[in-house]
Structure 1
Amino acid sequence: MGVILLLCSLFCALVSMPLLMKLWRRSKERITLPPGSMGWPYVGETLQLYSQNPDVFFITRQKRYGEIFKTHILGCPCVMLASPEAIRFVLVTQAPLFKPTYPPSKEQLIGASALFFHQNGYHTQMRKLVQASLSLSIIKNLVPDIEAIAIAALESWSTGKVVNTFHELKKFTFDVAILSIFGNLDAYNKEKLKKNYNTLDRGYNSFPINIPGTLYSKSVLARKRLGQILNEIIRERREKILVEKDLLSILLNFEDEKGRCLTDMQIADNIIGVLFAAQDTTASLLTWILKYIQLDSNLLEAIKEEQKAIYDANDGGNRPLTWAQTRNMPFTNRVIMESLRLASIVSFTFREAVDDVEYKGKFLIPKGWKVLPLFRNVHHCPDFYTDPHEFNPSRFEAGPKPNTFLPFGNGVHACPGNEVAKLEMLIFIHHVVNKFRWEVVGSTNGVQYDPFPVPQQGLPAKFWKEFRA
C-alpha cells in the first residue's frame, strides 16, 4: 500500500511539474523591476537630483512612473518610494528587510560604526545610549546653556552688517551639538573640531573621487584628523573618570552584559554621526523659519504676541527661560511643524534591501539596491495637505493623518534628537523676536541645494538689537 501511494505521489508530481513551472515563470514575469530611468553609466541621475529643486526630480518621476520607481544616484541603483503606504512598508512593517545604509563614500566620512548604518542588536543598544543623553530629563537642564549660546550668536550678528544667516546658524547649531555631546568642552578642542568638521561637511555630498585636491579628498583627510582629535578628547576624559550625563560620558561608561566597553572608534563614529545629524538640518530649518515669518507680518506678530507674554513674565528678559515655558509655546510650535513640512529639509532617507523583496506582488526590489522613502513627496501632496505649498500653521491645530508627517523619519530609526532640535529652535525664536529685528537683503526668492534646501545665498540679512523703553 505504501509503495502504491509513493508511486501515485511521484506520478502526480511529474504530471503537475510542467504546470507548476509555467505558473512560476508567469509569477516571475509579473514581478518586475519598478519603472524608471537609470540615467548615465555610473553617474546615473546624481547630477539631476543634487543640482535642482528636489521637487522637480521627485514629482516629475512620480507622475511618470507612480508611487515606486527606480533610478541610479551616487553610484548606486535605487528604488524610490513616494506614498505613505510604501514608506511605511519599508520603515515600519517590513523594516527587518531593509537595513539602514548610505553610499560607501558617506559611510567612510562619518564612520562605519555610527548607529544609523546598523540594525538589530548593535543599533538598539547605541540608540538607547544616544537617547539617554537626549532624554527630556537631561535636555531640560540644557535650557540656560542653549539660551546663552543663542543670545551670544544673535548679538554677534547685530552689527547692521549683512550676514549669511544659514552659515551663522550652522555655528549656533554646532555649538549646541557640542554642548549635548561633550558638555563644557574647552575652546581649543571645540575650534579644532569645528574647523575639521566644516571641511568634512563641504565634501560630504561631493562626487566621491578620492583624488588630491577634490572636495571629497579633503573631506577624507579631515575625517582622519577628526578621529585623532576625538581620540585625544576620549583619552583625557577617561583619565578624569567623570560621571556626567553628556553623550561622551554615557558612551565611555557603557558596558554590555559581558562587561565589554565601546572602542574608541565606535565612540568617535557615533559622535561624528550625531554632529552630522544635529547641525545642518536644524540650521536649515531655522533659516526657513526666519524667511517665512519675515515675509508674513501677521505671522510675525502672532509669534511675537505669544513670546512677549513669556518675555514679560520673565521681567522683560531679565530672568532666563524655564523648561516649563518652552513647553508652553503652542503657536510657535505649530510654526515649527509647518516649517518642517513645507521646507522638508530631509527629502529622503537611505535603506538597503537585505534580500529580494516583493512589493504588492508586482514589483521586485533586488537585494543590495538602495531604497529611498521620499518624505518630501508626502509632505507636499495635496491629498494630505490642502494647498500644500502655502505656509499655514493652523493645519496643525489638529493632528496630521497617520504616516503623512515624517520630518524625523519613522520606525525604529526615527531621529532620536528631535526634542533637543525643537528645544533649540524654540529658544532661538523666543530671543530673535523679542530682542532683535532683521531685514532680508536682496531677493527673498530662490532656493539652493547644498544638498539640504536653504533660501538662496543662505538668506543674507541684517540684524539689529531692539532696545525697549
Structure 2
Amino acid sequence: MGVFLVYVLLFLLALVSLMLLKSQKRENLNLPPGSMGWPLVGETLQLYSQNPYVFFNTRQRRYGEIFKSRILGCPCVMLANPEAARFVLVTHADLFKPTYPLSKELLLGPWALFFHQGRYHAQMRKLVQGSLSLDVFRNLVPEIESIAKSSFESMSVGQVVNTFHELKKFTLDVAILSIFTHLDTCYKERLRKNFFTLDKGYNSFSTNLPGTLYKRSVLARGRLRQILSKIIIDRKEKRSVQKNLLGSLLNFKDENGEILTDDQIIDNIIGVLFAAQDTTASVLTWILKYIHDDPKLLEAIKVEQKAIYELNDGGNRPLTWAQTRNMPLTHRVILESLRVTSIISFAFREAVDDVEYKGYLIPKGWKVLPLFRNIHHNPDFFSDPQKFDPSRFEVGQKPNTFMPFGNGEHACPGNEVAKLEMLIFIHHLVNKFRWEVVSSKSGVQYDPFPIPQQGLPANFRKQSCS
C-alpha cells in the first residue's frame, strides 16, 4: 500500500511539473503583434467598411505576416505567408479544426463534410472526391456542353442581364448533374427555386423573425429536405447503381456495415450544391470581364478555341475530353483569374489547443485565418501582382504560393470539375457569342464573394454566321 502511495505521489508531482512547464512556456511566448480594436466588436467595423483585402494588407504592412485582431467578437490570428498556411492546413491540421457560425451550419446541415474533421470527414471527402473525379467527368463533357448551350440561350435574349446571376444558374445545373446525373424536371425546378431562396439568406443577419431573408432561407431549407427525401426514396426503390454523388452516398457502408442516414446524405448534397455554385460563378464572371476588357487577349483565346471548333465541324460535333485538355492559353486565363480575384480570400480555423508558431502563442479557442489573397498578391511570389497576366502561369509557381482552392484535407474536392466547366463555357462563348458590358461602374462588390459591380450587366448576342 505504501509503495502504491509513493507511485501516486510521484505521478502527481510529474503531472504538476508538466503543467507548470507548459504554463511557464506559455508565459514566455508572446501573442502576435496587432490591434484587438474596441471591446467586444474589435475591428469588425473597419473590416466591413472597406475592401477586405485593404483591411488585411494594411495590417500586414504594419505588423508583418503574422498578426492578431478581433473580428465579430472572436480573437483571431492572421497568417499571410505560405509556410504558415501550410502549417495550419497541412502539416499540423490536427491542431486546427474548421469552424463556422452556427447559423450557417444550420442552413447547410450539421453533417456536411466541411464542418468535420477526422474519420467521418475522411469518409465523406473520399465519396465526394470520387464522384467529382475527372474519371467520372470525362464522360460528362457532352452533358456540360448541353447545359452551357442552354444557359447561352437564356442569356442572349436581346436585353441586359446580370451576368453573375445567369452564371449561378449554369453552375448550379452542373452541380445538379454531378450529384444526380439525370433528374426529373419537376424535382429539378423545385430544387433550383428553393436552393436560390436558401442562398439569398445564407449571409444575411441570422434572425428568425418572419419575413427576414434568414427566416426565408430556413423555410426553404426545410422544403429542400422534403424534396431530397423524396428523391432518395425514388432512387432506393429503383436500386440503380449510378456513378454520381447520390449513388456513392446511398451505397456507402463503413467497416462495420453501417450505412449513412438520410440526414447525412441530405446535408452533404446541400453542402456540395452550395460549394459548387457561387465560387465558380464568381470566377467565371471575372473571366468574362477580363477578356472583354483586353481585346488582344480575347482574340488570342478565340484563335485557340476556333481551331478546336473547326475540328468539330463548326460545333456540329461535341467537344471531346482530350480537346478540353488542349486549351493552354484558356487554362492560364482561368488560373490567373483565380489568383487575382482570390474568391476564397481565407480559410477559417480554430486552435484546439495552445499552439506555438515562430515564437508566437496561438491560444486555444482563437480563430486562425490563413490569408490566401495576401499570399496570391505578394510581389515576392508574383511580380506586379495587381496586373492580370496569364503568361505568369507558363512556368510553375513556388510551393504553397498558389492555393485558390485551399490546401490540405479540407481543400475543395471539386476544383478540377470547376475548371472543366469553365473551359467548356468559354469555348462556346467565344465561338458563338459577342457580349458588351454596359455598366459604367467599375470596382468590386461582395455578395459575399468578390464580383464585378452589379454582377457585370451585359448584353449577349449570337454571332452572325460568316
Query: TM-score, normalized by length of structure 1?
Result: 0.92
Q: What is the identity, as a one-letter code, of the residue corresponding to 1:59? A: N
- Between the aligned partners of 2:356 and 2:206, the Cα distance in structure 1 is 31
- For the 8 Å contact 2:443–2:452, the answer to whether it is kept is yes
Mapped pair 1:133 → 2:126: no
1:75-154 matches, cutoff 5 A: 75-154=73-152
- Letter aligned with residue 318 of structure 1: N
Q: CA deviation at 1:294?
A: 0.4
Q: Which residue of 1 aligns with 2:262?
A: 264
Correspondent of 2:211 among 200, 210, 213: 213
Distance 1:321 1:432 in 2: 14
The answer as to whether partners of 1:255 and 1:261 remain within 8 angstroms in 2 is yes
Gaps of 5+ in 1: 1-5
Are 1:377 and 2:374 counterparts? yes
Letter in 2 for 1:137: D
- Partner Cα separation in structure 1 for residue 127 and residue 244 of structure 2: 10
The one-character-per-residue Cα deviations of 1:138-176 (angstroms, maximum 9, x if unpaired) are 001110010001011112211221000000000000000
Offset, 1:234: 1.1
Alignment of 1:102-251 (within 5 A): 102-251=100-249
Amino acid at match of 1:383: D
Distance in structure 1 (CA, Å) of the matches to 2:36 and 2:215:
27
Equivalent residue, structure 1, for 2:3: none
Distance 2:175 2:429 in 1: 20
- 1:271 and 1:368 map into 2 onto residues whose CA distance is 29
The range that moved more, 444-453 or 290-299, is 444-453
Partner residue of 1:346? 344
Q: Once the two structures are superposed, what CA deviation does each residue of 1:259-297 show, in whole Å capped at 9, x if it has no partner?
A: 110011110111111111100000000000000000001
What runs of 5+ residues in structure 2 fail to find an aligned partner? 1-5
1:114-133 deviation line (CA, Å, top 9, x unaligned)? 11111121111111101111
**For residue 64 of structure 1, what is the amino acid of its counterpart?**
R
- Distance between the aligned counterparts of 2:186 and 2:130, measured in 1? 27
1:459 counterpart (451, 456, 460):
456
1:27 shift after superposition: 4.0
Q: In structure 2, what is the equivalent of residue 447 of structure 1?
A: 444
Aligned length: 453
Matched letter for residue 93 of structure 2: A
Residue 335 of structure 1 is matched in structure 2 by 333
Q: Could you say which residue in structure 1 is the equivalent of 2:315? A: 317
Contact 1:131 1:417 in 2 (8 A): yes
Structure 1 residues 25 and 258, CA gap change in structure 2 (3 angstroms): closer
- Separation in 1, partners of 2:301, 2:368: 39
- Whole-angstrom CA distance in 1 between matches of 2:230 and 2:46: 41
User: Any idea what the Cα deviations from partners look like across 1:177-198, whole Å, max 9, x if unmatched?
Assistant: 0010111111221122222211
1-side partners of 2:390 and 2:63: how far apart?
32
Does the CA contact (< 8 Å) of 2:306 and 2:431 recur in 1?
yes
Partner residue of 1:67 out of 46, 65, 87: 65
**C-alpha distance in 1 between matches for 2:235 and 2:72:** 38
Q: Residue 425 of structure 1 aligns to which amino acid in structure 2?
A: M
Task: State which of 412, 431, 434 in structure 2 corresponds to 1:415.
Answer: 412
1:395 maps to a residue whose letter is R
CA distance in 2, matches of 1:234, 1:38: 48
**One-letter amino acid matched to 2:437:** V
More deviation, 134-143/224-233: 224-233
> What letter corresponds to residue 126 of structure 1 in structure 2?
M
Distance 1:200 1:343, change over 3 A: same
Name the SS of the counterpart of 1:317 in structure 2: coil
Between stretches 61-70 and 451-460, larger displacement belongs to: 61-70
User: In the aligned structure 2, how far is the partner of 1:206 from the partner of 1:47?
Assistant: 16
Residues 24, 138 of structure 1: CA spacing in aligned structure 2 closer, same or farther, 3 A cutoff?
A: closer
CA distance in 1, matches of 2:73, 2:109: 19
Alignment partners' CA distance in 1, 2:234 and 2:271: 21
Q: Secondary structure at the match of 1:167?
A: helix
The alpha carbon displacement at 1:50 in A equals 4.2
Tell me, in whole angstroms, the C-alpha distance in 1 between the residues paired with 2:103 and 2:426.
36
1:214-271 C-alpha deviation (Å, 9 max, x unpaired): 3222222222222222112111211111110110011001111111100111101111
Q: Say whether residues 1:438 and 2:444 are aligned partners.
A: no
TM-fit CA distance, 1:41: 4.9
**CA deviation map 1:77-98 (0-9, x unaligned):** 3222111111111011111111
Checking the alignment, whether the CA contact within 8 Å between 1:284 and 1:454 is kept in structure 2 is yes
Report the more deviating stretch, 23-32 or 178-187: 23-32
Instruction: Give the partner amino acid of 2:88.
Output: V
- 2:350 corresponds to which letter in structure 1? E
Structure 2 residue aligned with 1:468: 465
The correspondence of residues 418-429 of structure 1 with structure 2, limited to 5 A, is 418-429=415-426
Separation in 2, partners of 1:254, 1:88: 31
Supply the distance in 1 between the matched residues of 2:156 and 2:39 (Cα, whole angstroms). Answer: 50
Per-residue deviation, 1:24: 7.3
Structure 1 runs of 4+ aligned residues shifted over 6 Å read: 23-26
C-alpha distance 212-438 of structure 1, shift in aligned 2 (>3 A): same
In structure 2, what is the Cα distance between the partners aligned to 1:78 and 1:291? 34
Which secondary structure does the structure 1 equivalent of 2:385 belong to?
Answer: coil
Q: 1: CA distance between counterparts of 2:40 and 2:448?
A: 20
Provide the C-alpha distance between the structure 1 equivalents of 2:270 and 2:279, rounded to a whole number of angstroms: 15
Checking the alignment, whether the CA contact within 8 Å between 1:67 and 1:86 is kept in structure 2 is no
User: Is the Cα–Cα contact under 8 Å of residues 179 and 269 in structure 2 kept in the other structure?
Assistant: yes
Alignment of 1:286-325 (within 5 A): 286-325=284-323
> Which amino acid in the other structure matches residue 33 of structure 1?
L
Alignment RMSD: 2.1
Match of 1:273 in 2: 271
- State the partner residue of 1:253: 251
Amino acid at match of 1:242: S
Cα distance 1:297–1:226, how it changes in 2: closer, same or farther (>3 A)? same
Query: Which residue number corresponds to residue 360 of structure 2?
Result: 363
Q: What SS does the aligned partner of 2:194 have?
A: helix
Q: Deviations over 1:396-436 (max 9, x none)?
A: 00011110000011111111101110010000000000000
Taking only the aligned residue pairs, the percentage that are identical comes to: 74
Distance 1:215 1:41 in 2: 29
